[in-house]
Structure 1
Amino acid sequence: MMKVVLKVELYDDKIKKKAMKRVSGISGVESVFVDMKDQKMTVIGSVDSVKVAVKLKKLCQVDILSVGPAKEEKKEEPKKEEKKPEAKKDPKEEYAEALKVFEAYFNQTRQQPYPYYYYRTVEENPTGCVIC
């Protein structure tokens, strides 16, 4: 279970409904919360944060604030095994890494624009008529 917190620019209830509908349509989403006051959206489930951001990018401005495990109920574990404390990363570094991944994914999915014109010669179209 992952918890993804996004900063979204939702200025209307209509846009909020559309955003929630798009995000809830992604497979693996357990729950979606929107805070209109802080303009934050929280998505909980087994989803890719980049996929959620790309879906919302078509609708509004999106920034990934944090990605991490969702808090689950604590289960009593035997005290025999002691876990070593892991070095925590700086939130700014985590944000920078998530942003790099998002930009790389977005640049791969971007389509190249079509040319504005198409030039055909007489050799390509033998049925064409040429007036000299």
Structure 2
Amino acid sequence: MQVVVLKLDFHCERMKQKAMATVCRLSGVKSVGVKDDKLTVTGDIDTYIIVKKLKKVCYTEIISVGPVKEPEKKPDPKKPSEPPEVVYWYPPQVPPYYQHFNGCVYEDPNTCVIS
């Protein structure tokens, strides 16, 4: 991909539209822009072909040819790292009235209670 900036000599608005249409028909053209008398063409195309086609419409002069500049990526402002939430686990607490109970009701199977 390359960017070609051309200076065109437009006499009227119709010539401007004709130049834009001529460039847009070329294969490999990704975008075309006009500002004042400068035509900016972006795409995979030979500069010579663009100038050759435009010279049939109006006077054309090459200003610059170069690779496409990719937009600079700004580093994302990261939030200050927060420490992970710590979860503490404690074993379940036994109520105090059950702490002295240390066995099964059936400690002595031969015990019989008659009331």
- TM exceeding 0.5: yes
Q: Which has the higher contact order (CA 8 A, sep 6+)?
A: 2
For residue 67 of structure 1, what is the aligned residue in structure 2?
Answer: 65
Pairs within 5 Å for 1:83-122: none
SS in 1 for 2:66: strand
1:74 positional shift: 4.4
* RMSD (Å), alpha carbons: 1.5
Number of residue pairs the alignment of both structures matches? 74
Runs of 5+ consecutive residues of structure 1 not aligned to the other structure: 77-132
Larger proportion of helix? 1
Pairs within 5 Å for 1:1-132: 1-36=1-36, 39-74=37-72
1:13 positional shift: 1.1
What is the TM-score with the length of structure 1 in the denominator? Answer: 0.53
SS in 2 for 1:14: helix
Task: Give the partner amino acid of 1:7.
Answer: K
> After the TM superposition, which segments of 4 or more aligned residues of structure 1 sit over 4 Å from their partners?
none
1:31 positional shift: 0.6
Runs of 5+ consecutive residues of structure 2 not aligned to the other structure: 75-115
What is the TM-score with the length of structure 2 in the denominator? Answer: 0.60
- Cα distance in 2 for partners of 1:17, 1:7 equals 15
1:16 positional shift: 0.6
Larger radius of gyration: 2
For residue 110 of structure 1, what is the aligned residue in structure 2?
Answer: none
**Sequence identity (%):** 46
1:50 positional shift: 0.7
